[in-house]
Structure 1
Amino acid sequence: MTSRLILPLLTIVALLTACNGQADNNQTIDASEALYAIDDFAEQTITFQEVPERIAALSSGDMDIIYALGGSLVGRPTTSLDLVSEEAEDVEQIGSTHEIDLEKLTYVQPDVVLGHTQMNAKDVPTIQGLGAQMILTDAQSVEDIKAQVLLFGEMLQKEDEAAEIVETITNKVSEIQSAARDERVSVLLVYGAPGTYMAALPNSLSGDLLDIAGADNIASDFDRLEAYPQYAQINTERVVEANPDYIFIMSHGNSTEVKDGFLKEMEQNAAWNEINAVKNNHIELLPSDLFGTNPGTRVTEALDFLVSLFESAPEDS
């Protein structure tokens, strides 16, 4: 998707001219003059003369990590999800990784914009033109989230705080894995929007969380989609054959509508009602702020939520 260019051309030119001094400082720092440098997930080396104070985040996970590290934001993602910090309520909403609001982003004059490696790589020149640097990351696993925490800790020069957060996440994973059930349940993990449903694969963040929580992903051998390699097309017959114990549905919004639409589509198969998940009423809507998007440091809450769903399942399910 392309970013929205809302300001008239002449206004943008004027704003870029006003930001030229800042752009020169951020983008042409000689390595010998830099105070420190970091390497992001896209293998960009970003240098800093001082710790950035004006940070804009395009995703809720990045926002959460910055606040967890004791930082602050001048721009936050446009979202209907609950905010991780009361401080964020008054922060300007600047769009998302899917669609950046350049007018509002220009208004807040960030030093750094936090974006996504796949969705925002194309936006780097535009962000640099606004006098800011763009740091690209993504999270397809708990290990990726830990790496994000450490990277943002380097950026904010809060390495000790970052190490503590990573240790907390690591301990949570170890705790869950050490208490794993002998019998793993099977799960279909659905990511949906009205009229569109995909099965999350093990190489997705939600798939990784599922594995850590002690469940088997029935879509592990489904063919991945070329455009979305962490997901696969859902085949009703294969779902019926796999007979999952649970069906989890994730969505960014309109969760009830997504669930109703998915069930209506699946119920067209006569064998649907014979699936264990259907017979035992184990079809769950997962919280949007913890699943279907990067929850940041709240990944520990996401893991606890999954474990709590499995605790009541019989060992011979």
Structure 2
Amino acid sequence: MLKQWRSPLLLLTLCSLLLTACGPGGQREVIAATSTGQPLTLTDFTGRELSFPGIPKHIVALGSGEADIILALGGALVGRPTSTGTTPVKGTEEIMQVGSAHEVDLEKIAYLKADAVLGNAQLNAKDIPALEGVGAQLVLTQAHSVTDITRQILLFGQMLNKEQQAQQIISGIEAEVQSAAAASTRQKPRVLLVYGAPGTYMAALPNSLGGNILELAGGVNIAADYPALQSYPQYATLNTERIVEANPQFILIMTHGNAAEVQQGFEQEMRQNAAWSSLDAVVHNRVSVLPAELFGTNPGTRVTESLQMLITLFSNLELQ
């Protein structure tokens, strides 16, 4: 029987597996899955079933929220979205920039030997063939609500074999949402939530992430029943007549770009129409640009900060 153990390579391999099995429980499961060749199977938000040979080790995120979640779960992020006038997600400053969901840098993703690319369900479905061509699987999700963000956290937790950590993060977010509902302001402030870029301004609807956070924080979205834009169904065209009629107490602006430039442009548009000057928000100087990292994009696990910021802002109305 001893003759079966003559191969040094075989002996070394088996010893290595035995030693690995003695490690921490979570690590043992990861190595067992990868060493036996059992594929990891996931279903993304579009219903696509994806298979990986093991836990992805070279992950690229095309959005800030996805990057934040991967880091929070302890994943191996090798590529992050390009910063355009905003601060990179904390902890990603030295990670290579690979474009964004709007414009993917395929060459850099190939260079990084990405095995998983986290993209946007609406924007990146067209990029599936190209990314598969460089050996990467495209995991498509979206973040139009706080619930979507918790679904992202759960999915990425499954992908990284970090489901327990994912559940802990989700529990924290859900606790914040429940606390917000309990502490919601008695006076529901009327709010116009605008998504802005220089020369382009749209009203955020309740089915947008910003709109969902607004309602969870106790605000009333005055554009809730505006007709959605066909190309951007989470937003609507600004309707000056209806805005004046609703008389918002806050005008809050979200942006990806230069916040000061966007605010200046929006204020100039308001000055061109005298009707805006009578709005409560304008009279009481409650027109402001929200932090881009919390509202201009998916904030990932920091969505609780977004929610708390609006709760604090709205509570100040009661003190005035």
TM range (shorter): 0.7 to 0.9
Q: Given the superposition, is the C-alpha separation of residues 237 and 267 from structure 1 closer, same or farther in structure 2, using an over 3 Å criterion?
A: farther
Structure possessing the higher radius of gyration over alpha carbons: 2
The count of aligned residue pairs is 284
Are 1:206 and 2:210 matched, yes or no? yes
Q: Distance in 2 between the 1:266 and 1:221 partners?
A: 22
Secondary structure in 2 matching 1:56: strand
| AA matched with 2:226 | F
Are 1:82 and 2:87 matched, yes or no? yes
Provide Cα deviations, 1:19-70, integer angstroms capped at 9, x if missing partner.
xxxxxxxxxxxxx964331100011111122111110000000000000001
Which residue number corresponds to residue 279 of structure 2?
275
Which residue number corresponds to residue 172 of structure 1?
176
User: Where has structure 1 moved over 3 Å in runs of 4 or more?
Assistant: 32-35
Q: Is the 8 A contact 1:236 1:266 kept in 2?
A: no
Q: Which runs of 5+ in 1 are unaligned?
A: 1-31
Are 1:218 and 2:216 matched, yes or no? no
Which residue number corresponds to residue 286 of structure 1?
290
| AA matched with 1:35 | P
Q: Distance in 1 between the 2:310 and 2:100 partners?
A: 27
| AA matched with 2:210 | S
Secondary structure in 2 matching 1:98: coil
Are 1:235 and 2:239 matched, yes or no? yes
Tell me the percent identity.
Answer: 52
Which residue number corresponds to residue 297 of structure 1?
301
Provide Cα deviations, 1:240-271, integer angstroms capped at 9, x if missing partner.
11100000011101111111111211222222
Could you state the TM-score of these two structures normalised by the residue count of structure 2? 0.86
Which residue number corresponds to residue 47 of structure 1?
51
Provide Cα deviations, 1:134-192, integer angstroms capped at 9, x if missing partner.
00000000000000000000000100000000000000000111011222001000001
| AA matched with 1:127 | L
Equivalences for residues 97-112 of structure 1 within 5 A = 97-112=101-116
Q: Is the 8 A contact 2:60 2:118 kept in 1?
A: yes
Which residue number corresponds to residue 98 of structure 2?
94
Which residue number corresponds to residue 146 of structure 2?
142
Secondary structure in 2 matching 1:192: strand
Which residue number corresponds to residue 155 of structure 1?
159
Q: Distance in 2 between the 1:202 and 1:277 partners?
A: 20
| AA matched with 1:180 | S
Cα-Cα RMSD: 1.4
Are 1:254 and 2:258 matched, yes or no? yes
Q: Is the 8 A contact 1:67 1:85 kept in 2?
A: no
Q: Distance in 2 between the 1:213 and 1:54 partners?
A: 37
